[in-house]
Amino acid sequence: MTILVTGATGTVGRHVTEQLVRRGIAVRALTRNSERARTVLPAEAEIVVGDLMRPDTLREALRGVEAMFLIVSSDQPRADLNTDPRVVAMAAEAGVKRVVVLVGFEEGPVEQAVRESGMEWTLVKPVEFMANVLDDWAASIREEGVVRELNGNAPSARVHEGDIAAVAVEALLGDGHHGQSYVLTGPEVLTRVEAVEAIARGIGKDIRFEELTEEEARRKWRDQGYDEESVEFFVQMAFQPPASGHTVLPTVERVLGRPARTLAEWAAEHRHFLL
C-alpha cells in the first residue's frame, strides 16, 4: 500500500513520513521543492512534486495511492498555503480510500469536503505544538538563556508533534478511526512560566522568563514576518485562550496505548537546538 503524505517536509508531516517508513509502508511525500525535501526526508520516501492550491498538479501524486495525510494550511511566517477543497474529490476519484486531515485552527471547506467524500476519514485537531518552542523561544534560550513572552500566566496543554503524527499514523493504518475527530493535547497544562521551567529541567540549564508588554510582543511578531491577522491571533491566545487549548484530554494515550510525552521530555529530545 502507498500512502501520500502532504506537508511531508513540515513539522508534523516529517514525523508522519518517518514513522510510516519505519513501519515499512511505501510513502509518497508531496513537496513543492524536491531538492530541499530530499535533504530532510528519509531516503526510502518517494518524493513527488505538486501544489495543494493547484489540484491539476496532483494527478501523478495521487496515482495508486490508498490513503492520504492531508494538510490544509501552514502557520509559518509568510506561508500562504490554503489547500483547495477540490483536492478531496480528486483523491476520491483517484481511488484513495482513507484520509487523515491535520485540521488548522478550525474546520473549513476542506474538512467539509472530506466529511462528504465517501472516503474513510479522521480529523486530527491538535492544540498548540511543542515544536513552536523552536520558532518562538529556542534562539534566545540558546544565546541568552532567556524567554521573552507576553503574559507568563497564559495556560496551554502543548502537544508533542511526534505524538500528533503517531495518532495520524494509527488512523492511516489501523481500524476504528473512521468518522473520529481527535482533539489532541499533551499530558499537562502549563503556564508559559511553568513551560520555561519544564524546558529548563529537560535540558539541565537555567532559563529566565521576561514578560513582554503587548506592544513589545506585537513588534516582535511583526519583525518575525507574521501578518496582522496572526499577530491578533497570538494576542488573543495570550489573554483569552480557548478552554480547549488548556484542557488535558486522554486521546493520545487512548489511541496510542502509551502516555502523551511531556514538554520536559520534548526539550530533552531537542536539547541540541536549545543549548
Ligand X SMILES: NC(=O)c1ccc[n+]([C@@H]2O[C@H](COP(=O)([O-])OP(=O)(O)OC[C@H]3O[C@@H](n4cnc5c(N)ncnc54)[C@H](OP(=O)(O)O)[C@@H]3O)[C@@H](O)[C@H]2O)c1
Mask: binding to ligand X, 62-81, rule CB under 6 A, as x and -? ---------xxxxxx--x-x
- State the nearest-atom distance from the C-beta of 110 to ligand X, in Å: 10
Mask: binding to ligand X, 93-132, rule CB under 6 A, as x and -? ---------x-xx--------------------x-xx--x
Question: Which residue, 38 or 205, is less far from ligand X as judged by CB?
Answer: 38
Radius of gyration of the chain (CA): 19
- State the nearest-atom distance from the C-beta of 108 to ligand X, in Å: 10
- Given 25, 52, 67, 167, the residue binding ligand X (CB under 6 A): 52
In the numeric block, which cell numbers belong to residue 123? 480529523
Cell 502543548 sits on residue: 158
Which of the stretches 48-56, 107-115, 251-259, 267-275 binds ligand X when contact is defined by CB under 6 A?
48-56
Question: Which residue, 30 or 264, is less far from ligand X as judged by CB?
Answer: 30
- State the nearest-atom distance from the C-beta of 204 to ligand X, in Å: 26
Interface with ligand X, residue 245, by CB under 6 A: no
Binding region for ligand X (CB under 6 A): 6-13, 30-33, 37, 51-53, 71-76, 79, 81, 102, 104-105, 126, 128-129, 132
